[in-house]
Amino acid sequence: MKSCIKCGQSKPLSEFNRNRTMPDGHRDECAMCFRSYNRERYKRPEINAKLKAWRDGRREDKAKYDTEYRDKNFEHLSKIRKDYMQTKAGKLASKQAILAWRKRNPEKRQAESAISNAIRDGHIIRPDKCSRCGVVCKPHGHHESYAYEHRLDVIWVCGPCHREIHKKARP
C-alpha cells in the first residue's frame, strides 16, 4: 500500500504509474490523480500552443522515420497485421474500414467494380504476370485515372510494384 500525495488515499501499488527513478519504482501520485492533472494541464492554451509547435516542428522527420520503419519492417508488420485480421476484432475493423473507404471513394470503387465485372464477364483477361517487372503472379489493376471514360484502362502490376507506384505518387 502507498499513499497518494494528491488525494491522500492509501492504494495498492498497482494503482500508481511506474517511475524507475523513485525508490519503490512508482510515482508519488496515484494514476487517477495524475490523469486528472494531465487533463487539466492540456486544457491550458499555452500548453497546447507549445505542443502544436513541437509537433509541427518534427512532422517531416516523423513522416520520414515512419516510412523508413515500415519499409525496413514490412514482413514483420505484415505478419502482425495478418494475425490481427484473423481475430474477431480484426475482421470487424476490416469490414468497417472497407465500408468507410467505399463511402469516401465512390469513383475509385466504381472503377474497381468495373474491372472486376469486366474480368468476370470475359471482356478483359487478367494477365498472369506483372507488366512492370515481369514476375509471374495475379497482378493488380492500377488505374492512372478514375474518370468514367478511363475506368477500364489499367496497368497490370504485382503487389510490390503497385505499392511502389503509390509510394512515388505520395506528396
Give the pLDDT confidence score for residue 18 in this predicted structure.
Answer: 95
Q: Which domain holds residue 40?
A: 2-46
Exposure class string for 67-90: b at 16+ Cβ within 10 A, else e: eeeeeeeeeeeeeeeeeeeeeeee
- Number of domains comprising the chain: 3
The pLDDT tens digits for 46-105 are 988 998 999 999 999 999 999 999 999 999 999 999 999 999 999 999 999 999 999 999
| E runs forming strands in 31-152 | 140-143
Are residues 39 and 86 both part of a single domain? no
Task: Centre a 10 Å sphere on the Cβ of residue 114 and count the other Cβ atoms it contains.
Answer: 19
Coil, strand or helix: which one is 158?
A: coil
For residue 52, being part of any structural domain is answered with no
For residue 92, being part of any structural domain is answered with yes
* Whether 136 contacts 164, CB under 8 Å: no
For residue 21, being part of any structural domain is answered with yes
Cell numbers that stand for 50 in this block: 507549445
Distance CA 139, CA 25 (A): 54
Examine the pLDDT at 165 and tell me if it is beyond 80.
yes
